[in-house]
Amino acid sequence: MKGMRSLGFAVVAVGLLAAACNDSESYSTPAGTPYDPSKPVEFYTFEPDSGGMRTKCIIKGSNFGTDIENIKVLFNGDREARIISSNGNMIYCLVPKQAGGNNKVSVVVGEDTVTCNDKTFAYSVKELVTTVAGKNGVEGDEDGTLLGSTLRWMCGIALVDGNNILTSERFAWKIRMISLDDNAVTTLATGISVGKPAVTKDRKTAYYIRYASPHTVYQLSQENLWLPRVIAEDIPNFYGNIQCAAFGPDEEWLYFRDNTGKFGRINIENTSIVEILNENCGSTINATDNHIVWHPQMNCFLMSEEFPHGIYKISLDGKTVEEYVGFKGLGGQDGFRDEVPMVSPMGMAVDRDGNIYVAQCQCHTIRKISYPSGLVTTIAGSYGVNDNVDGTPYLSRFSAPWDIAIDEEENFYICQFWGASIRKLAIE
């Protein structure tokens, strides 16, 4: 009987896999037993019991139902798998990205949650740095294919809808579009000198602020084919350079800080409303560039400063400014945030767990500040080594990584100022 049960499981699993693979874009709901809320949901087992991101997985049990909108499969507590199909007794799904190790697997159907207690899923993390656009170390202005084009002096990067990347070449006065799906690099605008944009949560609109005064505000939207549209000719009373724009907890206000120390915001819907929140926000040593990012878990902004070599915490109203990490001179040692130096921190990105990733331009590394522990580690590149080398993160080398952005699968894209290329750091 045990052999017959295994054979039946294999036959049904193959059927589910075949049905799903025949149509990668549209999955039909298989015939099966609908969910019965008067009966318990049971979770017997799953196969395989090890793998990485996007591993095909079969969940076996009973009373799952066939409505995949009513079903969740969770790995490691909160990492939701992509469900392809269910026949009521078997679910076919793709393993999500998660922490490495032996992780619990649970099924949620309606209000019922059941966990497989007999075994865990051994998740293997894979890490790799690759070049996705431009020619490492070769500056230029050629549009074309991803690896056939040439880029230069990139000071900002953003990921937008359609698997596209916006890059700002501030000193070359242009904005480029990098389409990963179309294998194409295209110039969207020239004569515009901007840095890091703020991007809406749906990734369909980006907002740039002109670097030097007058601070024109540009809107680039998918609806308008990503062509810049001026929504404000200037931001009054801000005369210093502005490198970065950021949203706070909502998308009503665009926040920024100029290099004279003024921290403020402009209303997106009514750009005549401009507020100075703090006249003296952070250091102005050497009139440095800064980057701002909102941290949802800490309910504050983080602002990196290039030459004071540190990152500040700034309250939403701008009135409270505290040193968060760095400001301890130069050095590449790892440790906890109250004891380690940061060297020329520039662009930052925050993942769904609150971990912070920082591009350190002058020392050519990518650092991670783990949340909430505050442990600072170098996750890619080598301190002080200026080069362009792909491969595993610890063997990889960067050339002035200026900015970093994170996609929906928590892969990282890094623009290099001197390296003149876009690099991808995949941690899956």
CATH code of the domain in which 418 resides: 2.120.10.30
Range of the domain at 161: 127-427
Do 244 and 369 fall within a single domain? yes
Quote the strand ranges of 229-351, DSSP E: 229-232, 246-247, 253-257, 263-267, 274-278, 290-295, 300-305, 310-314, 321-326, 335-336, 345-350
Q: Are 389 and 395 in contact (CB under 8 A)?
A: yes
CATH, residue 91: 2.60.40.10
| Domain limit, last residue, from 123, 158, 183 | 123
Flag residues of the chain having pLDDT under 50.
1-30
Do 150 and 240 fall within a single domain? yes
Q: Give the span between the Cα atoms of 327 and 388, in whole angstroms.
A: 28
Do 278 and 338 fall within a single domain? yes
Do 172 and 317 fall within a single domain? yes
Do 105 and 131 fall within a single domain? no
Find where tokens 């309250």 sit: 315
Q: Give the span between the Cα atoms of 149 and 154, in whole angstroms.
A: 14
Do 263 and 335 fall within a single domain? yes
In 131-267, alpha helices (H): none
Do 343 and 235 fall within a single domain? yes
| Domain limit, last residue, from 69, 97, 123 | 123
Count of structural domains within the chain: 2
> What does pTM read for this prediction?
0.85
Give residue 406's pLDDT. 96
Q: Are 72 and 1 in contact (CB under 8 A)?
A: no
Do 118 and 131 fall within a single domain? no
Buried b vs exposed e over 373-403: b needs ≥16 C-beta within 10 Å? ebebebbbbbbeebebeeeebeebbbbbbbb
Give residue 32's pLDDT. 82
In total, the chain counts a number of residues equal to: 428
Do 117 and 180 fall within a single domain? no
Do 390 and 250 fall within a single domain? yes
| Domain limit, last residue, from 71, 90, 123 | 123
Among residues 130, 186, 126, the alpha carbon closest in space to that of 162 is found at 186
Do 149 and 44 fall within a single domain? no
Do 155 and 32 fall within a single domain? no
Region at 134 (left for phi over 0; alpha for psi -120 to 50; beta for the rest) = left
Give residue 9's pLDDT. 38
Q: Are 20 and 10 in contact (CB under 8 A)?
A: no
Q: Give the span between the Cα atoms of 294 and 168, in whole angstroms.
A: 20
